[in-house]
Amino acid sequence: MSHPDRSVFERLLSNCASEPIQFPGAIQPHGVLLTLTEPDLVLLQVSANIESLLGQRPEQVLGQPLACLLGEAQATLIAQARSAQSFSDAPRLLLTCNGREFEALLHRHDGVLVLELECRDNNVLVANDKALTGNLGRILRNLQAAPTLQALYEACVREIQKLTGYDRVLVYRFEEQGHGQVIAEASSPDMELYNGLFFPASDIPEQARELYRRNWLRIIPDADYQAVELLPRLRPDTGQPLDMSFATLRSVSPIHCEYMRNMGVLSSMSVSLLKGDKLWGLITCGHRTPLYVPHELRIACQTLGQVLSLQISAMEALEVNRQRDAKLQTLALLNESMVAAQDDVFDGLAAQPELLMQLVDASGVAILEGNQLHCFGNCPTPEQIRLLHAWLMKRNEPVFSSHHLSSVYPPAEAYQKSASGVLAMSLPKPIDNGVLWFRQEVKESIPWSGNPEKPLDMVDSEAGLRLRPRTSFEIWKVEMTGIASRWSHGDLFAANDLRRSALEDDLARQVRREQQAVRARDDLVAVVSHDLRNPMTVISMLCGMMQKSFSSDGPHTSRRISSAIDTMQQAASRMNVLLEDLLDTSKIEAGRYTIAPRSLEVSQIFDEAYTLLAPLALDKGIDLVFSPGEQLRVHADPERLFQVLSNLIGNAIKFTPMQGQISVSAQADGERVLFCVRDCGEGIAPEQLPFIFDRYWTLKDNNPTGTGLGLYISQGIVKAHGGTLSAESELGQGSVFRFSIPVAV
């Protein structure tokens, strides 16, 4: 085929693939199709053959009630039938018109009621629907008793052939790549056998598959039919073509009819096989001469297709579970190895290469983490593995599988003998990591029905160039290279489960390492705080002794030394406070903060706080008022409660302006005592308020010497008492801190 012809062929092929087959505007001639309004049942469209079959011309009845075509009695039957909850469950509806018998089929779609009248006295061979009597129950029992999927397929095609009399009945399964394979067949002795053959995806275009998915059954009694057009061609109510997706009489593509004739059959029936809501395959029936299968017998075949669909799903699920169960022991051993590994989960896997390959029946495995790469069995080179891993990381798939790697990753063609298939998993870690299983090439010869490279041809006709289906269905063997045996559901489950175990173990290791780091830090803080307090105390004592030797009223040199000693004392005192805060913080974070509560008088605690803090308030002329309540007692650690009060009151003094006021109160609140420290300072900004109890929070502008640990520690102390510490503040109005302590019993 020359290049220009090739471009025409591609264009025609594209047109074929997008043909709107649900809008043919015509029907097959073994019945009549009518569209009706609801509820008045006015005729919107009719098929052009109503004159020959029903005895009236289209122009006489269009726009008229259905009764003018079928008579009042039969129109009433249709009106009653349309009210049924489900058309599929409605009783069989037989009508007589113009001296002929019809079976009425109803469906509602796209806002219109569609009535199809199938002729009961066709001029073609009619399948024996009396074969149903007493047989359907037996057939269903036989299908349910099939021990394997293959036995199930074979039983199904045999039974449908017996029921219908078709020369050939096949089970056709769709593959992931789009093409299909015949996996079971029941045929007359003189029919060409297709069992085991593959058929190109173009034999059943995508839009046809979608109709198969939406409809359980389609029938063509005679492929040599002349299509009957709808009148008018467009719907009067919408101006659009009628969507005939669910019409039994829908006319089919002329190319499909030609395809049937090329296969040597003139009639066909297809029953869809679904897995969930996806098209899994088809039961396809063919006969060398025209054959009409009545509606009741078609429903029986549809029921068998539905039962087969359920059985396929159930038995495949059982097979998947069996495959998974077979992996569990190996997965458990690999998990034990990962847990036992000292440094990393991948070290545990590298210690069990044979088990790792056995898990998914691989011929080689590579374990990669950072700069380390361990290879076992038959693998590509380290450089090829790293390049493949980099490509896999870009795909960002936790588990990836392919039995034909070079088809998605062309560089793999260089090592397809050792790694035509790959199964890979990785963990979400900042360094390169993963396990890559490899399978060697398995050369196989795939039998196709005809040349898969030429499923369609081009022919010159009166209307110009057009596509035609192939005329040859002879076995065409294709040698496949670069393909490994497929990864099973069990293999994919194993890879995902191993990844889950590795991820859990890796996270557990990270948590343990972080916990150890926290404990080490806490221990260091505790040791440093404890060991530094003694020398700091010694420094303070020595400073006090030295201070007595130098008078601040003495000579200039003596005054300078006295000032320096005073600074040293202040620094040592501040260092002691900081060490205490660090030790408390460490205990709070580690959950080891302890208190020694006892019964305390609130008034006594307030007196001690006043004695210590009143001089600081007096220096700023602040009025410090304590209201301890009457005879209140709390169950608290005296040192820790005093620490909270002194921190809150000290902060209030620090941030309250000269001549301001601070009130400290306590009052009974059920089984608790509520303490309140209120100031009239500048307040805390709303955006800062949620963070004031965080570690190291400090208002730097107003508190340049603060460590930011006081409120954090105070909150920890209150929580240790089983209480809560909260704050309210408004800029320019001051702040209020409240906390609760249990009442002493």
Beta-ladder partners of 517:
none
Contacting residues for 172 by C-beta, under 8 A, at least 6 apart: 180, 181, 182, 183, 199, 281, 282, 283, 284
In the structure encoding, which two tokens stand for residue 729, read together? 């503040």
Find out if CATH 3.30.565.10 is the number for domain 594-742.
yes
Q: Which element (helix H / strand E) includes 267?
A: strand 267-275
Residue 245 CB coordination number (10 Å): 16
Average pLDDT value for residue range 603-625: 90
Average pLDDT value for residue range 476-485: 68
Residue 364 CB coordination number (10 Å): 21
Is the backbone peptide bond immediately before 39 cis, with ω within 30 degrees of 0?
yes
Q: Are strands 475-480 and 444-449 parallel, antiparallel or unpaired?
A: antiparallel
SS3 of residue 715 by DSSP: helix
For the chain, give every residue range classified as CATH 1.10.287.
511-589
What fold, for 344-441+480-487? Beta-Lactamase (3.30.450)
In the structure encoding, which two tokens stand for residue 520, read together? 């080490």
Per-residue pLDDT at 1 exceeds 70: no
SS3 of residue 42 by DSSP: strand
Gap between the Cα atoms of 286 and 384, Å rounded: 51
CATH architecture, range 511-589: Orthogonal Bundle (1.10)
Give me the pLDDT at residue 586, please.
63
For the chain, give every residue range classified as CATH 3.30.450.20.
1-121+229-247
Per-residue pLDDT at 277 exceeds 80: yes
Give me the pLDDT at residue 701, please.
44
First and final C-alpha spacing in the chain: 102
Please give the distance of CA 465 from its chain centroid, rounded to a whole number.
47
pTM value > 0.85: no
Q: Which element (helix H / strand E) includes 627?
A: strand 623-627
SS3 of residue 703 by DSSP: coil
pLDDT, tens digit, 9 for 90 and up, residues 667-695: 999 899 999 999 998 899 888 888 888 87
Per-residue pLDDT at 153 exceeds 50: yes
Per-residue pLDDT at 272 exceeds 70: yes
SS3 of residue 334 by DSSP: helix
The count of residues in the chain is: 745
pLDDT, tens digit, 9 for 90 and up, residues 212-234: 899 899 999 999 999 999 999 99
pLDDT, tens digit, 9 for 90 and up, residues 372-399: 999 999 999 999 999 999 999 999 899 9
Residue 445 CB coordination number (10 Å): 8
Tell me the CA distances in angstroms from 169 to 174, 184, 259, 280, 388, one per residue in order: 16, 8, 17, 17, 45
pLDDT, tens digit, 9 for 90 and up, residues 191-217: 888 888 888 877 788 888 898 899 899
Give me the pLDDT at residue 25, please.
93
DSSP assignment of 573-625 equals HHHHHHHHHHHHHHHHHHT------EEEEHHHHHHHHHHHHHHHHHHTT-EEE
Q: Which element (helix H / strand E) includes 230?
A: strand 228-231
Of 17-26, 271-280, 701-710, give the range with the top mean pLDDT: 271-280
What fold, for 1-121+229-247? Beta-Lactamase (3.30.450)
Give me the pLDDT at residue 429, please.
82
Average pLDDT value for residue range 241-267: 90
In the structure encoding, which two tokens stand for residue 413, read together? 């063609």
Gap between the Cα atoms of 691 and 169, Å rounded: 75
For the chain, give every residue range classified as CATH 3.30.565.10.
594-742
Helices (H) and strands (E) in the chain, counts: 18, 31
Token pair 């009489």 in the structure block, residue: 249
Contacting residues for 315 by C-beta, under 8 A, at least 6 apart: 148, 149, 152
Please, are residues 419 and 426 in contact by the beta-carbon 8 Å criterion?
no
For the chain, give every residue range classified as CATH 3.30.450.270.
344-441+480-487
pLDDT band at 534 (very low <50, low <70, confident <90, very high): low
Beta-ladder partners of 740:
674
Residue type, 428: P
Q: Among residues 53, 32, 68, which one has the least CA distance to residue 98?
A: 53
Gap between the Cα atoms of 636 and 648, Å rounded: 17
Give me the pLDDT at residue 13, please.
46
pLDDT, tens digit, 9 for 90 and up, residues 15-29: 555 567 889 999 999
**Long-range CB contact pairs, 377-381, < 8 A, 24+:** 377/353, 377/438, 378/418, 378/419, 378/438, 378/440, 379/418, 379/419, 379/438, 380/415, 380/418, 380/419, 380/438, 381/415
pLDDT band at 5 (very low <50, low <70, confident <90, very high): low
In the structure encoding, which two tokens stand for residue 293, read together? 């299968």
pLDDT band at 560 (very low <50, low <70, confident <90, very high): low
Average pLDDT value for residue range 455-482: 54
Please, are residues 118 and 102 in contact by the beta-carbon 8 Å criterion?
yes
pLDDT, tens digit, 9 for 90 and up, residues 306-346: 988 988 888 888 888 888 899 999 999 999 999 888 878 88
In the structure encoding, which two tokens stand for residue 678, read together? 């209120």
Identify the burial level of 184 via C-beta atoms within 10 angstroms of its C-beta, where 0-12 means exposed, 13-18 middle and 19 or more buried: buried
Sign of the alpha-carbon dihedral angle for 45, 49, 55, 60: positive
- Burial of 693-725, coded b for 16+ CB within 10 Å and e otherwise, reads beeeebbeeeeeebbbbbbbbbbbbbebbebeb
Token pair 């903060």 in the structure block, residue: 593
Beta-ladder partners of 72:
none
Contacting residues for 231 by C-beta, under 8 A, at least 6 apart: 45, 46, 47, 48, 58, 62
Please give the distance of CA 498 from its chain centroid, rounded to a whole number.
19
